[in-house]
Structure 1
Amino acid sequence: MLKGLDPILTPELLSTLRAMGHGDEIAIVDANFPAASSGPPVIRLGGVPADAVAHAVLSVMPLDDFVPEAAWCMAVVDDPEADPPIFDGFREALARHETAEFTLNKVERFAFYARVSACFAVVSTGERRLYGNLILKKGVVRTN
């Protein structure tokens, strides 16, 4: 254990977050997502909700504020305007850990799969709520 770090941040996840560079993306996906066949390395956090992982990741990783979008979720199939409850958890994590205002952008299912395949890594959670999938683009840590 380390002081001040969320215990969800395993050594493997911390190493991955540290290895990522500006503009790299990480996917946090639910238990139904085909993580193993998506391509990038998979970090397994079974039993942990996706929004809890989002909070943990965002507690140490800045989002990219050089681009218009830095956070994406999977749009509901056949109802892209729908807003499943898990989306509120993702929005709360964004608002709590970022000083800039970031929106949660929706991406069509197959476009989301394609974007995940280009991610630096995938965090496969135990999330059982549908549409518990999120992609985050890493930003920079600013110094004074």
Structure 2
Amino acid sequence: MLKNINPLLNADVLYALRAMGHGDRLVLCDTNFPAHSIAKQTTLGGLLRIDNTSTAEATRAVLSVLPLDTFIDDAAMRMEIVGNPKEVPPVQQEVQAEIDRAEGKSWPLVGVERMAFYELAKKSYCVIATGERRFYGCFMFTKGVIPPDVQY
């Protein structure tokens, strides 16, 4: 156990989050996402897990240590509902609230069509599967930077 680290962040997840560089993307997904097959195609090459939790709780844990990229408009993305891309179900509303809380401001999720989301996921750094059982609990976050303590 570590101080000030969310206990959901196991050693493998912490390693991946620390190893990611600016602009690398991670996928946080529900139990229906083809996590294992897509994870094999990512930079990390294997599936990570934060089991027995919702994607909102996993988002809170991940964003407690991961800065979002402020240089792009789509640093936080959600999988769109097939046939109703504008609908934002409760699972996505909960994750939106966690993003806004972590960033201290409104940071809207960008919708991505389902098949396009799968293709982007294959190019991500890693996939983290959660215990989320609600449909469309799939998200992608792009790592930003932490500025130096002293500005030059």
TM > 0.5 fold call: yes
After TM superposition, what 4+ stretches of structure 1 lie above 6 angstroms from structure 2?
none
Query: Within 2, Cα distance between the matches of 1:35 and 1:129?
Result: 15
Alignment of 1:23-102 (within 5 A): 23-38=23-38, 39-40=41-42, 41-99=46-104, 101-102=106-107
Report the TM-score, using the length of structure 2 for normalisation. Answer: 0.91
2:60 aligns to what SS in structure 1? helix
Greater CA drift, 25-34 or 38-47: 38-47
Task: Return the letter of the residue paired with 2:16.
Answer: T
Q: CA RMSD in A?
A: 1.1
State how many pairs are aligned: 144
Task: Return the letter of the residue paired with 2:107.
Answer: F
Report the TM-score, using the length of structure 1 for normalisation. Answer: 0.96
Q: Residues 84-123 of structure 1, C-alpha deviation per residue, up to 9 Å, x if partnerless?
A: 1011111111111114542101100000000100110000
Q: Residues 55-107 of structure 1, C-alpha deviation per residue, up to 9 Å, x if partnerless?
A: 10000000000112200010000111111101111111111111454210110
Query: Within 2, Cα distance between the matches of 1:46 and 1:61?
Result: 19
Percent of paired sites with the same residue:
40
**Structure 1 unmatched ranges of 5 or more:** none
Task: Return the letter of the residue paired with 2:27.
Answer: A
Once the two structures are TM-superposed, the CA of residue 132 in structure 1 deviates from its matched residue by 0.4
**Structure 2 unmatched ranges of 5 or more:** none
